[in-house]
């Protein structure tokens, strides 16, 4: 099923720079993208958490596009 005209392709969203928040945990690290609610990853190291987050981001965005739901673009902050 083709995407509605206003929806951009997955590669467009994957190329955007979203803010990532790293969270120290008892057994490793968590990582979230605040602009993408529910998109999270985790691992024993920061690198592993970021790798898992990248996989989660691709899946999160693909699922949204498959259902023709909008994907928020990164918010811009003055800080």
pLDDT at residue 76, as a whole number: 79
Pick the closest to residue 15 from 79, 71, 78 (CA basis): 71
The token duo for 48 is: 């592993």
21 close to 15: Cβ distance less than 8 angstroms: no
pLDDT at residue 24, as a whole number: 98
In this structure, whether the domain defined by 10-66 belongs to CATH 3.90.226.10 is answered with no
pLDDT at residue 6, as a whole number: 63
The domain locations on the chain are 10-66
Q: How many CA atoms lie within 13 A of 71 on its CB side?
A: 30
pLDDT tens readout for residues 30-76: 999 999 999 999 999 999 999 999 999 999 999 999 998 999 999 97
| pTM across the whole model | 0.85
């Amino acid at each position: 099923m083709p995407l509605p005209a206003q929806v951009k392709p997955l590669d467009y969203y994957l190329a955007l720079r979203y803010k990532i928040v790293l969270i120290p945990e008892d057994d490793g690290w968590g990582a979230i993208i605040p602009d993408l609610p529910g998109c999270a990853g985790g691992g024993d190291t920061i690198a592993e958490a970021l790798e898992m987050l990248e996989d989660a981001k691709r899946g999160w965005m693909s699922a949204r596009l498959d259902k023709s739901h909008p994907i928020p673009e990164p918010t811009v902050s003055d800080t």
